[in-house]
Amino acid sequence: MKTRCRISGLDGLKVTLAKVKEGVASPEILEKAAAGLKERILERTALGRDVDGEAFAPYSPRYAKRRARAGKDAKLVTLRSSGAMLDSITTQARQTEVSLGFNPSKEALKASRLQAAGVGDKRIKRRFFVVSEDDRAWVVRTVAGGVKEKIKEALK
């Protein structure tokens, strides 16, 4: 003789799990991560630091004089000649990924030249638009914290 026992509450569990699934794939969490990543890049660049935390190589004497004549800081390299390039950094969050870029594309060309080809007679490269290991760890913590909050909300 078979005996059946029905578990009650499965419908509620399904609803809760659906909310958890929805929360885990939340563009809101990824948007927060993308915005934070952009802010981390801008903060370290404003401090004159590259992705590895090292000070940017100084401006060439000729360019430093030109900056000084224009009333701009000639000692701290912040990549803010006009501000257009750094101000044009954009973020986009999709269901499972984030991207950072530049708009308009002429600012992307400036960034690429700074990072890959280098600038000035000595072709000095300034690696600023890179995700570091610390940045990756920060993104993981941010996303994990967001997911944890979504799970808590779903369990209420």
Residue 91's pLDDT is 94
Residue 9 — pLDDT band, cuts 50, 70, 90? low
Q: For residue 105, give both structure tokens.
A: 């594309």
Residue 18's pLDDT is 76
pLDDT tens digits for 16-63? 777 766 766 678 888 999 999 999 999 999 999 999 999 999 999 999
Residue 6's pLDDT is 66
Report CA 53 to chain centroid distance, whole Å. 16
Whether residue 128 contacts residue 135, with contact meaning beta carbons closer than 8 Å, is answered with no
What is d(CA 141, CA 83) in angstroms, rounded to the nearest whole number? 30
Residue 25's pLDDT is 65
- State the amino acid at position 122 in one-letter form: K
Reference 100, options 109, 91, 108; nearest CA is 91
pLDDT tens digits for 105-148? 899 999 999 998 888 888 999 999 999 999 999 988 998 898 88
Residue 4 has pLDDT above 80, yes or no: no
Residue 155's pLDDT is 77
Residue 46: half-sphere exposure toward Cβ, Cα within 13 Å? 9
Q: What is the pTM of this model?
A: 0.81
